[in-house]
Amino acid sequence: MRILWLKTELLHPVDKGGKIRTYQMLKEMKRQHHLTYLTLDEAPEDRASHEQAHEYCHELICVPHRTEDKFTARFYGELALNFVSPLPYFIQKYRSAAMARMLKSVLREQKPDLLVCDFLHPSVNLPDAMPCPSLLFQHNVEAMIWQRHYEEQTNPLKKAYLCNQWKKTQQYEKAACHRFDRVVAVSVDDGETMKREYGLSDVSDIPTGVDTAYFQRNPAISAEPHHLVFTGSMDWLPNEDAILYFAEQILPRIKNILPDIRLTIVGRSPSPRVFQLSRQESGITITGRVEDVRPYMQRAGAYIVPIRIGGGTRLKVYEAMAMEMPVVSTRVGAEGLPVLHGEHLLFADTPEDFATAVIRILTDADLARALGEKASATVRERYGWGNVATKFSLICQDVLREWHEQKEKDGRSWRLDAIA
């Protein structure tokens, strides 16, 4: 099958959940399908990320694009102007006339068997009529993330802005989903949410995967007592909210029992608010981006996922499980993953319960070991990326088959004039 894959970023460095999921799946799918990867590119001078693209596609097509850096005057200006735009900001900033033109050209010249829109963001550049079968790969229910941001926010001005983004995202996401022949979610829960909220019928789901060969314990590295770790891209708002929530409402409760508790926050692009935590609390270390998260994870006695806001599924949970780490998570943090409290990890949804669960794991070596061993065995048996990519490929083939069957019924064809 010849697949045209749309994205708004190159995949290297593979340093956040959405990139990891796409990278691992495309590496597997490249063995059986011809993949053309069409993307916006904010760093055309970064030759390494271009050269490494051969790992996940046969052909790379980049369209130069620029978005404003966060926390700059121009960035805040764009946020203010977006308040009156019909598009949510995270969609509007990826609107590109150049990408729209390039997409039409590639569709006309290559006539791919299938178009895959990876995340909602590139959909803003699609032509009005699609000349071939198409699939939207939804890593999150985006409107649900904005709704949760709105519900957790207490500042009146920020709350008004988040409400504006939530409502616009809900409207855009619903309309966009109906433009595709199939929507693929990353969990059964997300799929059911989109069916219910957006009136969709053609929704499939794939499981979350993990690179079980990469995420293995190194017997030479021992966990340090009373040490916690959190990993994740710190420029993703749900991760920032999670770590601020943990530091402000949960960590003091743990310190009352374990005064020497330490926390390491591993992930790219921490905001000034996150950096401030390490200046306020000597037991907090912030690494920024690292080449390899595994040593930081393995030195900790427990892995925390205090996420209150989010959608989709968190790859980080399976990564920690694969490394036999005991995990404490909110239910939102492990949402969409088939994991059980007391068997694979511990769930805790209030500051008091979360602190208690962390203390249990750090002071009960038998419990920590049992959770880690069961969790690791489960993900290694069921959730390798090969299985995930195979299921996604079968969905792609199903969409293509259904499209051709419908073509026979209503005269639909691969029409060049649809994208003229």
Domain ranges of the chain: 2-209+385-419, 227-382
Q: How far apart are CA 355 and CA 340, in angstroms?
A: 19
Q: What is the CATH number of domain 227-382?
A: 3.40.50.2000
The pLDDT of residue 419: 60
Residue 324: what residue type?
E
What are the residues facing 302 on neighbouring strands?
A: 228
| Candidate from 188-192, 289-293, 327-331, 416-420 with smallest mean pLDDT | 416-420
The single-letter DSSP state of residue 186 is S
Find the mean pLDDT for residues 165-189. 97
Q: Is 131 exposed, middle or buried (0-12, 13-18, 19+ CB in 10 A)?
A: buried
The pLDDT of residue 409: 81
What are the residues facing 4 on neighbouring strands?
A: 36, 115
| Alpha helices for 235-350 (secondary structure H) | 237-245, 251-257, 272-280, 294-298, 315-322
Residue 53: what residue type?
A
The pLDDT of residue 248: 96
What tokens does 317 get? 């949970």
Give the length of the chain: 420
Encode 49-103 in three state secondary structure. Answer: HHHHHHHCCCEEEEEECCCCCCCCHHHHHHHHHHCCCCCCHHHHCCCCHHHHHHH
Residue-wise pLDDT tens digits, 113-138: 999 999 999 999 999 999 999 999 99
Q: How far apart are CA 388 and CA 187, in angstroms?
A: 12
Please give the model's pTM, rounded to 2 decimal places: 0.84
Q: Are 62 and 41 in contact (CB under 8 A)?
A: yes
**Is domain 2-209+385-419 annotated with CATH 3.40.50.300?**
no
DSSP 364-414: -HHHHHHHHHHHHHHHHHH-BHHHHHHHHHHHHHHHHHHHHHHHHHH----
Residue-wise pLDDT tens digits, 387-403: 899 999 999 999 999 99
Dihedral sign for Cα atoms in the order 46, 50, 53, 57:
positive
- Percent of the chain at pLDDT exceeding 70: 97
Residue 88: what residue type?
P
pLDDT band at residue 413 using 50, 70 and 90 as cut-offs? low
pLDDT for 260 beyond 60: yes
The pLDDT of residue 15: 87
Find the mean pLDDT for residues 13-19. 90
Averaged confidence pLDDT in the chain = 94
The pLDDT of residue 117: 98
pLDDT for 221 beyond 80: yes
Say yes or no: do domains 2-209+385-419 and 227-382 share a fold. Answer: yes
* Half-sphere exposure of residue 318: CA atoms within 13 angstroms, side-chain side: 26
| Candidate from 27-36, 250-259, 303-312, 407-416 with smallest mean pLDDT | 407-416
The pLDDT of residue 420: 55
What are the residues facing 303 on neighbouring strands?
A: 229, 327
Q: Are 87 and 168 in contact (CB under 8 A)?
A: yes
pLDDT for 416 beyond 90: no
Number of H helices, E strands in the chain: 16, 13
Cis peptide before 295 (omega within 30 of 0): no
Rounded to the nearest angstrom, the gap between the alpha carbon of residue 36 and the centroid of all alpha carbons in its chain is 22
pLDDT for 254 beyond 80: yes
pLDDT for 171 beyond 60: yes
The pLDDT of residue 391: 96
Dihedral sign for Cα atoms in the order 288, 290, 296, 298:
positive
